[in-house]
Amino acid sequence: MSADALAIHRMRFADLARLSVVGIRNRKLRASLSALGIAIGVAAIVAVLGLSSSSQAGLLAEIDRLGTNLLTVADGQTVSGATAELPIAAPGMIARIDAVTAVDDTGTVANVTAYRSPLIPSINSNALAVRATTLSLAHTVGTSMAQGRFLDPATSREPVAVLGAAAAGRMGIDMVYAGERIWLVTASGGQWFYLAGVLQPAALAPEIDSSVLIGFAAAQTYLGFDGHPSQIYLRAHTAQVDAVHALLAATANPEAANQVTVSRPSDALVARAEAEGALNSLFLGLGAVSLLVGAIGVGNVMLIGVLERRSEIGLRRALGATKGHIRSQFLAEAMLLALAGGVVGVTLGASATAGYAHVKHWSTVIPSLAWAGGLAAALLIGAIAGLLPAVRAARLSPTRALWSV
């Protein structure tokens, strides 16, 4: 029997896994409590990242539904700071651009305020704007009627109004009935307008929401409006949006192209969708704190385990375990414990995200960074939290472990 025939065997992965599973299974309650902290932390992180991605996806889907080919042209400012009015011919000029499929415009009727009745104090103007509008505006900006009908060639000449979604809310009008009227006040007196309908919110043109819309002819007849458009809404072929964008200012106001503001509302919404993640850092921080607490819990449970399992450690050393074997056993157990917490956390976080996204009619998006990162973080935490207990277990002298029970 030669001394050199001694081989040192690394433990097989399957054996290591079996040992850790047994170690955890023998102390189920304690193991699950200590993994809970990690589960909560991972769940918080996964849910926060998942919810923000899902809401972003929801918003982008909404933007896609509304269309990214809406462009707006608004009156700008002159060098002196006064409003530079768009020429009356501007909508017609824009409509002649080939790639433009629809054009509508509104004109802000200055110095007119709208009230539900003459009895409302004049200071309660609700920040509503009265705008003259062309007749297919709702379709062009991508909204529709919530109640009633939009203006038509007949009603646009008469004192008839349509309310934006927010305007109806602020005035306290939740139902349109025949003969309902609102009171529009000009510098020289007041005028009743019949209410024809209420619009749905217009996500791409939020200024419409807080508007009282009337026909151009009616505005000129009853409110002394000068007929200048102040905002032009147009749809272009999606592939040519950029080309149209470049032409718009010069087309709308050839004499003073620099006094025209051209924008693409969907861009602003996309930017908002992307900025929405900023609020999440607080919740991510809470998740991180929970992970830290979880790590301390796992470390603590493992340390207690080492104290309790002195005789097991001693026995394993007597059976031929090296210090390394003992170390890997306890490290693997801590990592498995944390990983189990991580898996539970990812499941919880993902279901929370899926549930909320379902309620909000978003598609569920859980970024791979969230679930893979959550699991990796759990494993790493297990390794860090298990290191000290594992080293302690390995350092335990076999004689003291076995003979001081």
Distance CA 197, CA 339 (A): 58
Is 263 among the residues that bind other proteins (CB under 8 A)?
no
- Closest CB to other proteins among 112 and 306? 306
CB of 389 to other proteins, least distance (A): 19
- In the region spanning residues 14 to 33, those forming contacts with other proteins, defined by CB under 8 A, are 14-15, 18, 22, 25-26
| The pair of three-digit structure tokens given for residue 74, joined into one six-digit string | 């608004």
Report the C-alpha gap between 235 and 69 in whole angstroms.
Answer: 6
370 alpha carbon, distance to own chain's centre: 16
Distance of CA 327 to the CA centre of its chain: 45
SS3 content of the chain, % helix, strand, coil (to 5): 55, 15, 25
Q: How near is the Cβ of 24 to other proteins at its closest, in Å? A: 11
* Residue placing its CB nearer to other proteins in the complex, 5 or 79: 5
Among 123, 187, 239, 405, binds other proteins (CB under 8 A): 405
Minimum CB–partner distance for residue 390 and other proteins (Å): 15
Three-state SS string over 361-397 comes to CCCCCCCHHHHHHHHHHHHHHHHHHHHHHHHHHHHCC
> Least distance in Å: CB of 10 to other proteins?
8
Q: Considering the rule CB under 8 A, would residue 361 count as an interface residue with other proteins?
A: no
Least distance from other proteins to the Cβ atom of residue 286, Å: 37
3-class DSSP assignment, residue 197: strand
CA distance 337 to 36: 10
158 binds other proteins (CB under 8 A): no
Q: Is 311 in the site for other proteins (CB under 8 A)?
A: yes
100, amino acid identity:
V
CA atoms within 13 A on the CB side of 382: 30
Q: Which of 315, 352, 384, 391 binds other proteins (CB under 8 A)?
A: 315
Q: Among 135, 323, 380, 383, which residue interacts with other proteins (rule: CB under 8 A)?
A: 323
Nearer to other proteins, 286 or 402 (CB): 402
Report the residue number, 202 or 394, with the smaller CB distance to other proteins. 394
Give the closest residue to 171 by CA, choosing from 160, 182, 186.
182
Query: Which residue of 127, 187, 319, 359 would you call a contact of other proteins, by CB under 8 A?
Result: 319
Residue 174 CB neighbour total at 10 angstroms: 10
> Closest approach of Cβ 326 to other proteins, in Å?
10
Comparison of 27 and 264: residue with beta carbon closer to other proteins = 27
HEC string of 306-358 equals: HHHCHHHHHHHHHCCCCHHHHHHHHHHHHHHHHHHHHHHHHHHHHHHHHHHHH
Of residues 373-402, those binding other proteins (CB under 8 A): 397-399, 402
Residue ranges in contact with other proteins by CB under 8 A: 1-3, 6-9, 11-12, 14-15, 18, 22, 25-26, 311-312, 314-325, 397-399, 402-403, 405
